[in-house]
Structure 1
Amino acid sequence: MKQENSYQIIKVLNNNVVLAKRLRDHQEMILIGKGVGFGKKATKVTTINEDKVEKTYCNFEEKFKEEYLRLVNAMDRKVIGVVEEFILLAGKELGQLDDHIHIALTDHIGFAIERLKQGLVINNPFLYEIKAMYKNEFAIALKGKALLYKRLNIMIPDDEVGFIAMHLHSGRQSKDIKYTIKDTRLLKAILELIQMEVGYDLDKNLMMYTRLVTHLKQTITRSEKKKEIINPLLDDIKVKLNEAYRIAEKVAKLIEEEKEITVSKDEVGFLALHIERLRT
């Protein structure tokens, strides 16, 4: 059985989430666990059995703590509580998430809910690409959608689910959301280039589309990390699939210009194989 600790409650976010200060070391933290906030009052000192605490977030930098406390004081505590429950769920499914997600995702969802209340719905121009690039993150984001409806009776559209998935991906990679947006925008530009070259719009519901997106993502990642691959069919591809290879070279050039990296000829060859399937 775990020990009990004394806490001063800073704010009760919901029955399962509290922001509190542990008195023995004056550490401020988020405590998440079933019923951990039930009956608790802000400013009061209380004893909490650690058996009830499923997750504790406490290793915050001072700047992070100040940002989070500003968010707590400015936003509906119920929204913050649900987001914290969701981050716990996402962490279990996806692995360790960067601490900054507590600010970035909470702020985004809070703002999204305010927009919905005002009747303002923002279209997500990258939705299909997000579903293909960040499949696992999108699946978890759908669970967040269900949790928001269950706890707050708020139904967010799938466009917002896509944005949440991008935040989850950023949290997994420990990078700012702007880089995830930039990568997703690049992918969309690549797909538009390929569609223009092959002369028709790709069916986003086909497995071939998903495979193409997955391969593009892997190509960019390998090129960024300078991981070499060998394409034993490269010479044949250049001759027999010369039109697909020409398109693949255009794609490689776009990647190189946007990311300031080098895409190897072997990578171009493999990409040409995927493009050839679209041409036949």
Structure 2
Amino acid sequence: MLIKKILNNNVVITINDDHEEIIVMGKGIAYGKRNGDLIDISKVNKTFELSLKDEQKKMLNMLKDIPIEYMDTSDQIIQKAKKELKVGIDDSLYITLTDHIHTSIERYKEGVILKNQLLMEIKSFYRKEFELGMWALTLIKAKYGISMDENEAGFIALHIVCSETDNAIENAYEITAFIKEILEIVKNYFHIEFDEESLSYYRFVTHLKYFGLRCFNHMKHNQIDSLNNDILEIMKEKYVDAYLCVLEIKKYVKQKYDYILEDEEILFLTIHVAKIILKK
């Protein structure tokens, strides 16, 4: 790969065999080099093929100002996330997480500690991601000598959640609040407390996450087919209370988010709610 532009000693823009611009990182990778020189492949630590131009601009602006050590820290967290979660992680997480860690450490040095208003919900809805956030805090403490509280673990967890769903951090906050609202409807309707350790609760929360994505993006569920329509009719009769609860959810979502639940969504929500209350 040939160097097109040197950002600093550790980051360059290169041209690959397909004539695409690639961001390449590695300690000292550009030391003593000029534009047009070949890269020493043995020094390459990470490459980025960001598909969106605005993402690439964000990356370039960030890498000029943030020490490479922060990117290394993000990479360690992301690699562990890939291993633990076994899901696809969007490359944009390298941008958002590195920037967050850098600014958070600077804030802590100045004694500015932010409260995460959705911490309890994050701990409940995104347990694995929160555990990764707590692990990240131990890594940050070891590398930078900065002790952060669990509020930061929650922020890091949300960044990971965003990369799983390919959404902005603002959407992650909205969806987390959305999940909380729907759970409150179910809880108040049946006057119950959820068993947050149960598989049915975990599956319900997972479904609500993607339900929230559809709601905020105004995406329609697939049109219900004849088989699922028959199943819905059976569910209405067999699990009347669960179905009526879902109708309350439908009314709430329409009023607050101007989103109309299709029968397919009503079916799956009814199934999840029925499983939740059967555990009681």
Normalising to structure 1: TM-score of the pair? 0.71
Q: Deviations over 1:30-51 (max 9, x none)?
A: 32xxxx41xx397632875424
In the other structure, the counterpart of 2:7 is 10
Please give the per-residue CA displacement for 1:150-207, whole angstroms capped at 9, x wherever unaligned: 3223333333222222222322333322222222111011112222223354454555
Match of 1:67 among 45, 50, 58: 58
Contact 1:220 1:255 in 2 (8 A): no
Match of 1:56 in 2: 47
Q: 1:45 aligns with which of 7, 18, 33?
A: 33
SS at match of 2:47: strand
Distance 1:27 1:136, change over 3 A: same
Question: Is residue 248 of structure 1 aligned with residue 246 of structure 2?
Answer: yes
Equivalent residue letter for 1:247:
C
**Counterpart of 1:82?**
73
CA distance in 1, matches of 2:203, 2:229: 18
Q: Residue 29 of structure 2 contacts residue 40 of structure 2 at CA under 8 Å; is this kept in 1?
A: no
Q: Quick check: 1:90–1:140 contact (8 Å CA) kept in 2? A: yes
Give the letter for the 2:142 counterpart: K
Counterpart in 2 of 1:276? 277
Q: Which moved more, 1:82-91 or 1:160-169?
A: 82-91
Please list, as runs of the form range in 1=range in 2, the aligned pairs for 1:170-209 lying within 5 A after superposition: 170-205=162-197, 207-209=199-201
Matched, 1:122 2:114: yes
- The structural deviation recorded for 1:138 is 3.8
Residue 262 (structure 1) aligned with residue 261 (structure 2): yes
Decide whether the 8 Å contact of 1:166 with 1:177 is kept in 2: yes
TM-superposed deviation, 1:262 = 1.8
Q: C-alpha offsets along residues 225-262 of structure 1, whole Å, 9 cap, x if unaligned?
A: 52347276655654554334322221233344527242
8 Å contact kept, 1:30–1:56: yes
| Paired AA for residue 240 in structure 2 | N
Alignment check: 8 A CA contact 1:132 1:210 kept = no
Work out whether 1:213 is the aligned partner of 2:205. yes
Computed over aligned residues only, the root mean square deviation of the Cα atoms, in angstroms, reads 4.0
**Helix, strand or coil at the partner of 1:163:** helix
Instruction: State the 1:271 CA deviation.
Output: 3.5
**Quick one: distance in 2 between partners of 1:273 and 1:26?**
51
Amino acid at match of 1:245: Y
Q: Is the 8 A contact 1:132 1:213 kept in 2?
A: no
CA offsets per residue over residues 18-64 of structure 1, 9 Å max, x none? 31245998956232xxxx41xx3976328754244343125465543
State the TM-score, normalizing by the size of structure 2. Answer: 0.71
- Matched-pair contact (CA < 8 Å) for 2:195–2:201: yes
Following TM superposition, by how much is the alpha carbon of 1:75 offset from its aligned partner in structure 2, in angstroms?
A: 4.0
CA separation of 1:159 and 1:237: change in aligned 2, threshold 3 A: same
Letter in 2 for 1:53: V
> Which residues of structure 1 form unaligned runs of 5+?
13-17
Aligned in 2, Cα 1:218/1:85: closer, same or farther, shift over 3 Å?
Answer: closer
**Deviation of the 1:133 alpha carbon:** 4.2
Letter in 1 for 2:251: K
CA distance in 2, matches of 1:209, 1:23: 48
CA contact (8 A) 1:133 1:213 kept: yes
